[in-house]
Amino acid sequence: MTRIANLTEIRFNKAECGVNFLINTGTGMEHLQYYTSDKEYITDFFEFIFFEEEGGHVWIEHKCYDVMPNSIVFLSPYQRHRWQLETDVNFFRFLIFQEDFLHNFLADKYFTYRLLYCYPNDTPPFLIVSQEDMQRYIMFLKEIKQELRRTISDSEQILRSLLFYLLLQINRSYATTYGLPTCKVRNNYAYQFRQLLEKHIHTKHRVNDYAELIGITRITLNKAVKEQFGTTATEMLRKRLLLEVKNELLDTTGTASEIAYRLNFPEPNHLMRFFKQMTGQTISEFLAEVNKKNNNYSSSL
């Protein structure tokens, strides 16, 4: 089994960004090499890109999405992505931030897991908005940029307030666009489950395991997940596990047996059967398809 792609990891560096906080924004021109590279990336921060014009594509977790006018692309930490942009870098803006930037401001440690576009399950990692809304969001981004440039005693509070408001406004639009539940939250069980999935997906593959970690029954957990995310806990877990399997397949030089061991499958056959059930493909067929897409992408450059 060969490695398909070499990932480049980018970590938030305040010195390189030229800011004093774990947040930054600007136009694509400020990170020209990143947005015009053909490399595949992961980052340790949230990255949202606001496109005013159409042009090109972005690959996120093995899927290709068209860049549409007045669209927002959402990248969560450690999501594989690759840019293939044709639009002018001056006509889109980025917003990057680390989760810790909000934690000192919010008592809610599950806030980013409540945002429906962060770690999405069945919905796409992008949103098309009206031109009016796009201009409103860009106005907030410009205000954040201005605050980063002048940095006075209360700048940190202002920045967190602006970010908090912007993220919630976008969340409303995302929920409306994709018909996602917006009922009042009665507990944090669904968000705890989503957070625990990110921490334990390598070792825990049963919903009961997560229910025990939270201290509730499987039935209670499944009800909470259904209310908040419109899907079952089992489906959410299986899709998250599938993503981890795909990442292991593409990022490793190990055998299927070694990957099965790392992901806590009892036997390699269990891994192969799970993959076939979820994708309709064998592992070999999946790798061949990714190779073909990569070759087509390279030949188009």
Q: How far is CA 275 from CA 235, 241, 259, 260, in A?
A: 14, 10, 12, 11
Q: What local confidence, expressed as pLDDT, does residue 1 receive?
A: 37
Residues of the chain with pLDDT under 50: 1-4
- Phi-psi label, residue 98: left if phi above 0, alpha if psi -120 to 50, beta otherwise: beta
Each residue's pLDDT tens digit, 92-133? 999 999 988 887 677 778 888 889 899 887 889 999 999 999
Rounded to two decimals, the pTM is 0.81
Q: What pLDDT was estimated at residue 150?
A: 83
Amino acid, res. 17: C
Describe the strand order of the beta sheet including 7-10 as a list of residue ranges: 7-10, 40-43, 81-85, 56-60, 63-66
DSSP strand pairing (126-128 vs 40-43): unpaired
Q: What pLDDT is recorded for position 296?
A: 62
What was the pLDDT predicted at 178? Answer: 93
Q: What local confidence, expressed as pLDDT, does residue 104 receive?
A: 66
H or E stretch at 97: strand 92-97
pLDDT in tens, 31-67: 888 998 888 899 999 999 999 999 899 999 878 999 9
pLDDT at position 232 is 93
What domains are defined for the chain?
7-178 (2.60.120.280), 189-300 (1.10.10.60)
Residue 2 has a pLDDT of 38
DSSP 121-190: SSS-SEEE--HHHHHHHHHHHHHHHHHHHH--TTHHHHHHHHHHHHHHHHHHHHHHHHT---PPPS-SHH
Can you give the pLDDT at residue 4?
43
